[in-house]
Amino acid sequence: MPEVRDNFGDERCATENVLCSKRVTINGLSYGKGTVLLQRIDSDVNFVKVVHVVVHEQAKYLYCKNLTVKYFDAHLNAFMIEDCDTYCVIPAAELYYKWPQLSYDNFVMMQNVDDTWML
């Protein structure tokens, strides 16, 4: 999977084999293809969608597609999102918001995020 290897910053990862998994469970939370995660909350809310789960030297990484927030629907209490053309690699151990978010079609509702009141 060259597109996965190209996004790793570490030169070793780009030349060695990496393993892909359909799903990984870390501390009771499962991540797999299609899982939507809250990446960060700064001036904007940033979501990502897991494309591949990658394992390299016992470490788990999430190869994700960035999502763009179009608007917040107050009636549904959810964000309307759409896919971007950019990707990122997130070490699973370094996730700040570890809980998968509720998603349906192009809407994402945040759950288990303590600092959402700052929005």
CA distances from 86 to 45, 117, 118 (A): 16, 28, 27
Specify the pLDDT at position 115: 58
**Is the residue at 63 inside a domain?**
yes
CATH of the domain at 37: 2.30.30.490
Q: What's the domain range around 62?
A: 2-104
Sequential DSSP letters for the chain: -HHHHHT-SSHHHHHS--EEESEEEETTEEEETT-EEEEEESSSEEEEEEEEEEEETTEEEEEEEEEEEEEEETTTTEEEEEEEEEEEEEEGGG-SS-SPPEEETTEEE--S-GGGGG-
The count of domains in the chain is: 1
**Is the residue at 109 inside a domain?**
no
> Could you give phi then psi for residue 69, rounded to 5 degrees?
-85, 120
- Chunk the chain into consecutive blocks of 10 residues (it has 119) and report each block's average pLDDT, rounded to whole numbers: 57 63 88 91 88 88 94 92 93 87 88 60
Specify the pLDDT at position 11: 52
| Contact present, 73 and 107 (Cβ < 8 Å) | yes
**Is the residue at 112 inside a domain?**
no
Closest CA to 37 of 52, 50, 23, 24: 50
